[in-house]
Copies of this chain bind each other. A is one copy, B any other.
């Protein structure tokens, strides 16, 4: 089991009109990702609405904050007992057999215009053996072709830009991998959370964006940016792309500061708590199709 002590602290200055916020900073609830402790503190005296989505386990928080400062502090002890699978056993699922709530992850979205990539995806990956290894080939292709370069992309940058300019940050790697996967009729979605194991040269601990692909009967983790140890990723939200699960979607006149993030893995041999490490198995924090109704 993996255990991470998580801290997220966000600070905003809100203008005289107040502002609405939708946050995606809670660790998702899934059978494989559970919480042994959690606390949320808001510096304003407001009661947020927290909604858990049954299909994804996302917990989004919406609130209206008044003028002045808003500080949001979230702490959690997150336990990860990944579902692990042998990549060789993970098949792509024919469209006509996909669960209904997975279908929408085949469709193009704001930042993943998969409809435009069909010919390219088939040229590059159409001849490969279907299954996990093909998805891994897409991941490797994106990882090799795109160079991680801060400040080369912005909130308008999409897969169409990244495939041409070949630079970006984790979000851009994720969007391109998603677009290529969907172009091959493989459901793929965008996941956000905290990074783990990133080279300190890339900067302070930060939020991370990665990819989940539906294979066999659940969603598996891929990190096309190649910057983290996937086993140490805490999942906040999953969605079609970055538009759906922004850390904070803000409606109003707000100035934000750089977030403070900490994700520290625990180690305790006596309780079988180990550090995240690179591994060859396929990892999922998702419940399988059958478990869904039970949530």
Contact = CB atoms under 8 A, between A and B. Distances in A.
A100 B145 contact: no
A206 interface: no
Interface residues of A, number: 46
A133 interface: no
A22 B167 contact: no
A164 B164 contact: yes
B49 A96 contact: yes
A20 B96 contact: yes
A149 to B, nearest CB: 9
A166 interface: yes
A115 interface: yes
A98 B249 CA distance: 14
22 contacts: A22-B103, A51-B100, A53-B100, A60-B103, A62-B96, A62-B98, A62-B103, A64-B94, A106-B249, A107-B110, A107-B243, A107-B249, A115-B155, A115-B156, A115-B243, A120-B164, A120-B165, A123-B166, A154-B154, A163-B164, A164-B164, A185-B251
Interface of A: 20, 22, 49, 51, 53, 60, 62-64, 94-96, 98, 100, 103-104, 106-110, 113, 115-117, 119-120, 123, 145, 147, 154-156, 160, 163-167, 185, 239-240, 243-244, 249, 251
Contacts of A63: 96
A27 to B, nearest CB: 18
B251 A95 contact: yes
Given A51-B100, A62-B103, 20 more contacts: A20-B95, A22-B95, A53-B100, A60-B100, A62-B98, A64-B94, A64-B95, A95-B251, A104-B244, A107-B249, A108-B110, A109-B109, A113-B156, A115-B155, A115-B243, A117-B164, A119-B167, A120-B165, A123-B145, A240-B240
A113 to B, nearest CB: 6
A167 B64 CA distance: 28
**Residue in A22, A160, A164 whose Cβ sees the most chain B Cβ within 10 Å:** A164
Rank and list the top 7 A-B pairs by shortest CB-CB distance, nearest first: A20-B95, A51-B100, A64-B96, A107-B243, A108-B110, A119-B166, A20-B96
Contacts of A185: 20, 251
